[in-house]
C-alpha cells in the first residue's frame, strides 16, 4: 500500500465532509469488508478512542479474520503517559508477535497538563510544551509504524466548550505536524483532521445529525464524546483506508499462492 502524506487532498476532505452533512443524509456505514487474511486492528488512546474501538468491534463481530484490540484508557493521554508506556501496552496485547497490522490512534483530550521530561517539567501553554508534545507524538507514530502495515491517527473533534475547542484545535495541529514528519521519514502513517467532519454539515458544534433519513443524536451530553451513532460516523473516516489495507493483504497472499502453484 502506498504511503500517505499530509496535507490530504482537499477533494477527499470535502467528499468526507459532504458525506456526513445532514442534508446529504449522513448514512450509517454498510457492513464492512471481511478479509480472507487474518488481521489485527489495535485502537490506542483515551475514551474517545474507546468509542471508535466499540464501533469497530460491533462492525467486525461476525468476521472471524478480524481481531480488534482494545488499548484504550479513560482519562489517559500522551502528556501523562510516554510513548514507551503505550508501546509496552501494545506489546502485552499482541503477544509473541508484538505487532498489529493496523493501529488506529486517537488521543489528546486529556493532554492539557504538564509534561515531565527527565528532570524538567513543561506546563501546558508554556513555551516548550508544544515541542515536547510534538516530539512524543512523532516518536509514537514512528515506533507504531515500524511494526504495522499502517497507522491511522484521528485528530480531536469539534467540541461544544469554547475553552476546550481552542485547546483541542492546537493539540490536533501538533499531532498533524508530528504524523506528517513521521510520514516524510518513511513511516506508513496518515493523519485525519476530523474537526470539520464532526460538525456533520453544521456551522459548528451540533448534537444531532441526519442518519439514514432520521435525525439522530450523535454527540453525548458532555459535548465532547459521541453516541454509538456518532462513533460509527467517526469510524467511517478511517474505514476506506482500513479496507484498503485488508484488500492489499489479500492481494499479496493471492499472488504468493499463485507463485507456489
Question: For residue 193, what is the domain's CATH number?
Answer: 3.40.50.1110
DSSP states along the chain: -PPP-SSPPHHHHHHHHHHT-GGG--PPPPPPP--SS-EEEEEEESHHHHHHHHHHHHHHTT-TTEEEEEEE-TT--TTTS-HHHHHHHHHHHHGGG---SEEEEE--TT--S-EEETTEEE-TTSTTHHHHHHHHHHHHHHHHHTTSSEEEEE-PPP-S-HHHHHHHHHHHHHHHHHHHHHHHTT--EEEE--TTGGGTTSSS--SEEEETTEEEE-B-TTSSSB-HHHHHHHHHHHHHHHHHHHHHHHHHHHHHHHHH-
From the list 48, 7, 14, 51, the residue with the least C-alpha distance to 201 is: 14
82 in any annotated domain: yes
Q: What is the pLDDT of residue 117?
A: 81
27 in any annotated domain: no
Other Cβ atoms less than 10 A from the Cβ of 186: the count is 11
Q: Which residues of the chain have pLDDT under 50?
A: 1-29
Range of the domain at 43: 10-14+36-197+231-260
126 in any annotated domain: yes
120 in any annotated domain: yes
115 in any annotated domain: yes
Q: What is the pLDDT of residue 4?
A: 37
168 in any annotated domain: yes
55 in any annotated domain: yes
Q: What is the pLDDT of residue 31?
A: 60
Q: What is the pLDDT of residue 32?
A: 83
How many domains in the chain?
Answer: 1
Q: What is the pLDDT of residue 10?
A: 35
State the Cα–Cα distance between residues 70 and 84, nearest whole angstrom. 17
Q: CA 55, 172, 201, 237 torsion: positive or negative?
A: negative
Amino acid at each position: 500500500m502506498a504511503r500517505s502524506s499530509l496535507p490530504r487532498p482537499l477533494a477527499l476532505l470535502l467528499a468526507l465532509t459532504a458525506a456526513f452533512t445532514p442534508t446529504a443524509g449522513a448514512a450509517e456505514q454498510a457492513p464492512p469488508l471481511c478479509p480472507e487474511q487474518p488481521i489485527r486492528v489495535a485502537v490506542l488512546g483515551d475514551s474517545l478512542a474507546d468509542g471508535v474501538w466499540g464501533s469497530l468491534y460491533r462492525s467486525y463481530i461476525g468476521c472471524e479474520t478480524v481481531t480488534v484490540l482494545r488499548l484504550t484508557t479513560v482519562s489517559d493521554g500522551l502528556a501523562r503517559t510516554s510513548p514507551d508506556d503505550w508501546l509496552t501496552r501494545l506489546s502485552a496485547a499482541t503477544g509473541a508477535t508484538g505487532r498489529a497490522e493496523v493501529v488506529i490512534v486517537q488521543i489528546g483530550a486529556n493532554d492539557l497538563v504538564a509534561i515531565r521530561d527527565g528532570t524538567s517539567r513543561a506546563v501546558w501553554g508554556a513555551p516548550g510544551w508544544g515541542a515536547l508534545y510534538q516530539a512524543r507524538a512523532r516518536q509514537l507514530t514512528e515506533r507504531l509504524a515500524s511494526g504495522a502495515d499502517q497507522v491511522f491517527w484521528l485528530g480531536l473533534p469539534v467540541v461544544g466548550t469554547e475553552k476546550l475547542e481552542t485547546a483541542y484545535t492546537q493539540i490536533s495541529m501538533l499531532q498533524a505536524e508530528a504524523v506528517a514528519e513521521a510520514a516524510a521519514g518513511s513511516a506508513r502513517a496518515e493523519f485525519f483532521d476530523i474537526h470539520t467532519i464532526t460538525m456533520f454539515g453544521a456551522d459548528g458544534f451540533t448534537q444531532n445529525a441526519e442518519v439514514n433519513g432520521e435525525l439522530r443524536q450523535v454527540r453525548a451530553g458532555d459535548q465532547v464524546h459521541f453516541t454509538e451513532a456518532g462513533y460509527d460516523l467517526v469510524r467511517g473516516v478511517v474505514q476506506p483506508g482500513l479496507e484498503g489495507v485488508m484488500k492489499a493483504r489479500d492481494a499479496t497472499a493471492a499472488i504468493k499462492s499463485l507463485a507456489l502453484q
